[in-house]
Amino acid sequence: MGQVISLAQQKGGSGKTTLALNIACAAIEDGMSVALLDTDPQGSLGQWFMRRRQAMDPGMSFSTSSAWGVAYECDKLRGQSDIVIVDTPPKVDADLRPALRESSLILVPVASSHLDLWATESVLDLAAREKRRSAIVLNRSAPRARLMDEVVAALGDIEAPRLVTMLGNRVVYAEATGQGRGVVEMTRAGKAAEEVRALWAEVRGMID
Ligand SMILES: Nc1ncnc2c1ncn2[C@@H]1O[C@H](COP(=O)(O)OP(=O)(O)O)[C@@H](O)[C@H]1O
Ligand SMILES: [Mg+2]
């Protein structure tokens, strides 16, 4: 049976879709079968997938679902794939619950800003109410910035584990996305590819 990983965060632009597609590409590189499920009406993950289809054999499946259809879709996809990755809209409300409920792990990207940080607790609360495991992933980190230190310090007050792996703020993430690829599929994506593989290894360790 496959495992469902969802990306959730109230704040738009935190990196939900970027993490979803990059984790997917790292997982297929690792030999797993992957299904993507886009529940965001904006359809960014779907646009990425359609771009990918033009460029190559996508190597993974894609479907969309409304909030209420998530349980049914996940049941089906779990039977077909090792990993089901669910992208969600930038809001925390009753519509998010079905996706959280289906998840073995909920990843909450926090781009290094206070706005992201302030938006984080609501999704963690909802995950806790559904008794699901969640973990914060620092995204767009800039190791020597003071803001970054502040955000990391403030995260210490939040009761959710934070993944050791952080993703840096790197142009190659946007470049890869525009080509329908993940950074692990880009040539010369050195550090970005490394951190995404490390992220995947950590995530895999949590759902095994
Ligand atoms: N680590 C990163 N480095 C550089 N740009 C990033 C990174 N993560 C995300 N982005 C860019 O930030 C924007 C928002 O990311 P996205 O994944 O669409 O966020 P969300 O799905 O949470 O709204 C996109 O243009 C994306 O390419
Ligand atoms: Mg998105």
Ligand nearest to the backbone CA of 14? 1
At residue 113, the pLDDT reads 79
Q: What is the mean pLDDT of residues 51-66?
A: 98
Task: Report the pLDDT value the prediction gives residue 160, as an integer from 0 to 100.
Answer: 80
The rounded distance, in Å, linking the Cα atoms of 58 and 44 is 16
The average pLDDT across 151-179 equals: 89
59 CA → ligand 2 middle, Å: 21
Ion ligand 2: residues, Cβ under 5 Å: 16-17, 44
State pLDDT tens for residues 76-125.
Answer: 999 999 999 999 999 999 999 999 999 999 999 999 777 888 889 999 99
Residue 7 CA, ligand 2 centroid: distance in Å: 9
Mean pLDDT computed over every residue of the chain = 94
The CATH homologous superfamily to which domain 3-207 belongs is P-loop containing nucleotide triphosphate hydrolases (3.40.50.300)
pTM, whole model, 2 decimals? Answer: 0.96
The predicted structure's pLDDT at residue 150: 80
Say what the pLDDT of residue 69 is: 96
Mean pLDDT of 163-183: 97
Split at pLDDT 50, 70, 90, the class of 154 is confident
The count of residues in the chain is 208
Alpha helical stretches, state H, 16-96: 16-29, 44-55, 70-78
Residues with CB under 6 A from ligand 1: 9, 12-18, 44, 90, 139-140, 167, 169-170, 173-174, 177
Q: What angle do CA 10, 138, 194 make, to 5 degrees?
A: 130
CA–CA gap between residue 111 and residue 147 (Å, rounded): 11
Nearest ligand by distance to the CA of 15: 1
38-54 pLDDT, tens digit each: 999 999 999 999 999 99
Q: Provide the pLDDT for residue 118.
A: 82
At residue 189, the pLDDT reads 82
Per-residue pLDDT at 102: 98
CA of 190 to the centre of ligand 1 (A): 18
